[in-house]
Structure 1
Amino acid sequence: MKSKITLSLFAILFAVISYSQSPNSQVGGGEFVFNSAKKPCITPAQRSEMIKNVQTNIENLQRKNQLTFSEQRRGNHPLFIWPIQKANDVSYNEVYSVFNYVDHDTGFPNQIEDYTCGARTYDTTAGYNHEGTDIVTWPFMWKMMDDDGVEVIAAAPGQIIVKHDGEFDRSCDASAPMGDWNLIIVQHGDGSVAAYGHMKNGSLTSKEVGDMVSAGEFLGIVGSSGISDFPHLHFEVLSDATFTEIIDPYVGVCNPTSVDSWWQSQRPYNDPGINAVLTHTADPIFPECPTAEITNESNQFDVNDEVFLAIYLKDQTAGSSVNLRVIKPDDTVLFDWIHDLTANYYTSWWRWNLFPDVAGEWKWEATYAGETVTHTFNVNDPLSIDENDFNQTSVYPNPFNDVIHILSPTKIANANLVDVLGKTVLSLKGSSEGITTIDLSSLSNGMYFLMLESDVNEKKTIKLIKE
């Protein structure tokens, strides 16, 4: 049976000198902007080469009687499922936001019109009009790319017509030429093809040209190959005559390419939602492309630690609001407030601060656009001694004079020493071998508390006496 000895004197002391700060007393975060350089996803030369590869590979498959599509069996156009999904080990609520739709205004520059007659697209001074749907990963796009966190899947069943892999996927110099993208193109039963571009180098399916894929089948990982300075999927649909006619899969009054939707369930033009509700030890760091973000995510804190409470949104809508709550371990609501959103952002994040005053499992909760996401985090009491956790770890000699030695079946990753007033007097991080010896010769005589953490997040606090 687990027994827990609480040092009541120190608990009372901390209760007197610390308190939980109102989380809406400090706000950080804001909009996150992608593709500020507005470079095209593909050059005219690259597009010509892509179409040539489609035509050549179709002819080769026909010659071998391996092409699945035929005029005699031509079906209706496909109905797409969403072409990305989060990997199984990703705990975020959602991992994307749509950044650009197809530009239906052939003029340029700054003459843009998406399928709703809106301006959620772009063109360039060189005459490029965006010809697909850009789905960006959010939050922490580079980290999720490195962790294989967002998968590209087949939006409809079909036959692989083009597969190209091996291209560099971390190009960032917007002024420099960029190479080809890692790409898969799938042909459907009506003869149309869908291109999945910018995928991560080396991530593409092991299937080859001529192989069949089913709807929802893994094709690769969202990456940043080709003309791209942030991880995203460029999803583009072409008709089957010469493969030069762009099909916008979204039905809308300003889409002349289709009279009905090519989606099984067309998602809203503006689709506000919560991508993640997280806790951090500090604000996340978003370095310059292509360095992965330092997320500073954590679900483990001590009483009176500063907890950074953050939410990550897609399609933030001006005039809307988020209801936020902090719930204590006894299920009482410590804070319940409204955060008003005053601008339209495709991707945004917001942060508050909390100093939890009691140990246990806390809840950090956000409600937005009719959806509630709850994140739990643990707060530990550093001035408690748990006799069963990390049970086989011991320290000798105790009492001690100068040096103590740690015996543990698992590696000690961190050690913190706290005096009787709760002040940290020593903090150590272990090497690859862990912490086995600590020199405490400089300390005054008295009682201390040694807080140990293993490399598998086990924790134990040991009372020490220096004589």
Structure 2
Amino acid sequence: MIQANIEELRRENKLSFSENRRGNHPFFIWPIQKANDVTFNEIYSIYNYVDHNTGFPNQLTDYNCGMRTYDTAAGYNHEGTDIVTWPFPWKMLDDDGVEIIAAAPGQIIIKDDGEFDRSCTFNNPDPWNLIVVQHSDGSVAAYGHIKNGSTTIKNVGDMVSAGEYLGIVGSSGISTIPHLHFEVLTDATFTTIIDPYFGACNSTTADSWWQAQKPYTDPGINAVLTHSAAPVVFPPCPTSETPNLSSDFETDDEIYFTVFVRDQTINDNVTFEILKPDNTSLFGTWSATASATSPSWYYLYGPYSGFFDMVGEWKWQATFGGETVTHTFNVEAPLNIEEEDFNQTSEYPNPFNNVINISSSTKIVKANLVDILGKSVLSIEESLEGITRIDLSGFSNGMYFLMLESDANEKKTIKLIKE
């Protein structure tokens, strides 16, 4: 198909590549990125590299002389890099959370879409959704397993720049989990595989084709999260995970804590800590030792309840793979039945610059402002006229908690952002 489409573009005088202008091989950027609304620290884990051992089955050699690849009894040796989305791969597929981008500039040679994209088996007979881009040296990069209906609006013959959107990571074709299969081909018939990773057991290239080649083993933290209920991380394929994410709790709530890591090796250490608003440790620092080697793993703690007795911004943090990632969550005082009605009180604008306005059908007689360390920084009482406006121009920018009390002893806590 690559050859046929190239010949068609050549006949139409639309082919960008020319032997007379052949350039050097491209240097790739990483071919996926987080969508704008995804806040995870990272969203990938490499499951498989190119298999350089032509024997089969289970005769495996990756570019680094390891075995992070696969082959099949039918004689297929894996020909690309499998970049799996993590955490919550099916949920991120549903939410368009991980975007495939052009690793290098070039011309679209193939664009296939419309195929089923929730495959869970190697026996799936459906083709995959695919984009193939040709570079200035004549090589092509194939981006496979794309989500149905998500491919770029551009068509065969159109040019793309490095970093340009191509589609959403899916699980179309022969696939068992949402991932990008990134494959590089060259020569006149496009049957020669190029493994873009430089390594001792890769004879397809004398240098790396990556602008910044990632380490063979790339341990790190993909997400540090809090939950209102235990997350469902591995439901039956292809059911979407149920994260039960939350960062806002009351003092008597149960809270679950998770850390999602990639490329952990047996006996690796992961350390954890929960910090109160005053930066004192709730339980002290504790750790876990990896009992297995895995490209993706997660740790779950909780539910914890009865410990969150301080209103303000708490921190849940983990250290692994040379990095510390911190997730903040807010704890507020619980509301009683009367306070639920009082909860309809509105505060505006929020975020605010200097003044916060309060609109309430009930007279507000007390206001207490607390900073993120749980320290009271302002108290106001007004029993006659009630409080409808608070000037906070003298305070630094940042997050605060405003605790309001009505003349009927109803209470409400609001998170404020001063810009």
- Tell me if TM exceeds 0.5: yes
Q: Residue type of the partner of 2:345? A: N
Q: 1:333 to 1:237 in 2, by over 3 A?
A: same
Q: Secondary structure at the match of 1:61?
A: helix
Instruction: Tell me the equivalent position of 1:379.
Output: 331
Q: Residues 93 and 178 of structure 2 are in contact (CA less than 8 Å); yes or no, is this contact kept in structure 1?
A: yes
What CA distance in whole angstroms lies between the structure 2 residues aligned with 1:128 and 1:91?
Answer: 37
What CA distance in whole angstroms lies between the structure 2 residues aligned with 1:88 and 1:371?
Answer: 23
Asked if 1:357 is matched to 2:309, the reply is: yes
Instruction: Tell me the equivalent position of 1:46.
Output: none
Unaligned runs of 5+ in 1: 1-52, 394-407, 410-458
Written as runs of structure 1 = structure 2, the 5 A alignment for 1:111-130 is 111-130=59-78
- Measured after TM superposition, the shift of residue 104 of structure 1 is 0.5
- Measured after TM superposition, the shift of residue 199 of structure 1 is 0.2
Deviations 1:167-220 (A, max 9, x none): 11012355x442110000000010000000000000000000110000000000
Written as runs of structure 1 = structure 2, the 5 A alignment for 1:280-291 is 280-285=227-232, 286-291=234-239
What CA distance in whole angstroms lies between the structure 1 residues aligned with 2:40 and 2:405?
Answer: 30
Asked if 1:391 is matched to 2:345, the reply is: yes
Deviations 1:255-275 (A, max 9, x none): 111111000010000000000
Q: Residues 78 and 262 of structure 1 are in contact (CA less than 8 Å); yes or no, is this contact kept in structure 2?
A: yes
Q: Residue type of the partner of 1:182? A: N
- Measured after TM superposition, the shift of residue 63 of structure 1 is 1.1
Q: 1:308 to 1:460 in 2, by over 3 A?
A: farther
1:64 to 1, 7, 12: 12
Unaligned runs of 5+ in 2: 348-359, 362-403, 411-419
Instruction: Tell me the equivalent position of 1:152.
Output: 100
2:131 to 153, 161, 184: 184
Q: Residues 121 and 175 of structure 2 are in contact (CA less than 8 Å); yes or no, is this contact kept in structure 1?
A: no
Instruction: Tell me the equivalent position of 1:229.
Output: 176
Q: Residues 361 and 376 of structure 1 are in contact (CA less than 8 Å); yes or no, is this contact kept in structure 2?
A: yes
Q: Residues 107 and 158 of structure 2 are in contact (CA less than 8 Å); yes or no, is this contact kept in structure 1?
A: yes
Instruction: Tell me the equivalent position of 1:348.
Output: 297
Deviations 1:1-43 (A, max 9, x none): xxxxxxxxxxxxxxxxxxxxxxxxxxxxxxxxxxxxxxxxxxx
What CA distance in whole angstroms lies between the structure 2 residues aligned with 1:375 and 1:247?
Answer: 40
Which consecutive aligned stretches of 4+ in structure 1 deviate over 3 angstroms post-superposition?
Answer: 383-389, 459-464
What CA distance in whole angstroms lies between the structure 2 residues aligned with 1:172 and 1:124?
Answer: 17
What CA distance in whole angstroms lies between the structure 2 residues aligned with 1:123 and 1:213?
Answer: 32
2:112 to 164, 169, 179: 164
Asked if 1:90 is matched to 2:42, the reply is: no
Deviations 1:392-440 (A, max 9, x none): 69xxxxxxxxxxxxxx99xxxxxxxxxxxxxxxxxxxxxxxxxxxxxxx
Q: 1:207 to 1:460 in 2, by over 3 A?
A: farther
Percent identity between matched residues is 63
Q: 1:139 to 1:82 in 2, by over 3 A?
A: same
Written as runs of structure 1 = structure 2, the 5 A alignment for 1:18-37 is none
Q: Residues 84 and 152 of structure 1 are in contact (CA less than 8 Å); yes or no, is this contact kept in structure 2?
A: yes
Q: Residue type of the partner of 1:378? A: N
Q: Residues 276 and 315 of structure 2 are in contact (CA less than 8 Å); yes or no, is this contact kept in structure 1?
A: yes
1:330 to 262, 278, 289: 278
Q: 1:290 to 1:460 in 2, by over 3 A?
A: farther
TM-score, normalization: structure 2?
0.79
Deviations 1:306-332 (A, max 9, x none): 211110000012232122111101222
Q: Secondary structure at the match of 2:314?
A: strand
Q: Secondary structure at the match of 2:9?
A: helix
- Measured after TM superposition, the shift of residue 387 of structure 1 is 9.8
What CA distance in whole angstroms lies between the structure 2 residues aligned with 1:200 and 1:287?
Answer: 20
Q: Residues 252 and 334 of structure 2 are in contact (CA less than 8 Å); yes or no, is this contact kept in structure 1?
A: no
Deviations 1:339-368 (A, max 9, x none): 222321110000112322332211101111
Q: Residues 386 and 460 of structure 1 are in contact (CA less than 8 Å); yes or no, is this contact kept in structure 2?
A: no
What CA distance in whole angstroms lies between the structure 2 residues aligned with 1:392 and 1:214?
Answer: 47
Q: Residues 265 and 290 of structure 2 are in contact (CA less than 8 Å); yes or no, is this contact kept in structure 1?
A: yes
What CA distance in whole angstroms lies between the structure 1 residues aligned with 2:320 and 2:235?
Answer: 28
Q: Residues 111 and 156 of structure 2 are in contact (CA less than 8 Å); yes or no, is this contact kept in structure 1?
A: yes
2:213 to 257, 262, 266: 266
Instruction: Tell me the equivalent position of 2:156.
Output: 209
Q: Secondary structure at the match of 2:4?
A: helix
- Measured after TM superposition, the shift of residue 463 of structure 1 is 7.1
Q: Residues 390 and 460 of structure 1 are in contact (CA less than 8 Å); yes or no, is this contact kept in structure 2?
A: no
| Greater RCO structure (CA 8 Å; 6+ sep) | 1
Instruction: Tell me the equivalent position of 1:339.
Output: 288
Q: 1:460 to 1:270 in 2, by over 3 A?
A: farther
Q: Secondary structure at the match of 1:72?
A: helix
Asked if 1:318 is matched to 2:270, the reply is: no
Q: Residue type of the partner of 1:125? A: A
Number of aligned positions between the proteins: 348
Q: 1:460 to 1:371 in 2, by over 3 A?
A: farther
Q: Residues 121 and 174 of structure 2 are in contact (CA less than 8 Å); yes or no, is this contact kept in structure 1?
A: no
Q: Residue type of the partner of 2:198? A: V
CA-based RMSD of the aligned residues comes to 2.3
What CA distance in whole angstroms lies between the structure 1 residues aligned with 2:260 and 2:148?
Answer: 27
Instruction: Tell me the equivalent position of 1:74.
Output: 22
Q: Residue type of the partner of 1:144? A: M
TM-score, normalization: structure 1?
0.71
Q: Secondary structure at the match of 2:285?
A: strand
- Measured after TM superposition, the shift of residue 460 of structure 1 is 11
Instruction: Tell me the equivalent position of 1:238.
Output: 185
- Measured after TM superposition, the shift of residue 78 of structure 1 is 0.4
What CA distance in whole angstroms lies between the structure 2 residues aligned with 1:133 and 1:254?
Answer: 15
- Measured after TM superposition, the shift of residue 240 of structure 1 is 3.0
Instruction: Tell me the equivalent position of 2:243.
Output: 295
Q: Residues 143 and 292 of structure 1 are in contact (CA less than 8 Å); yes or no, is this contact kept in structure 2?
A: yes
Q: Residue type of the partner of 1:117? A: C
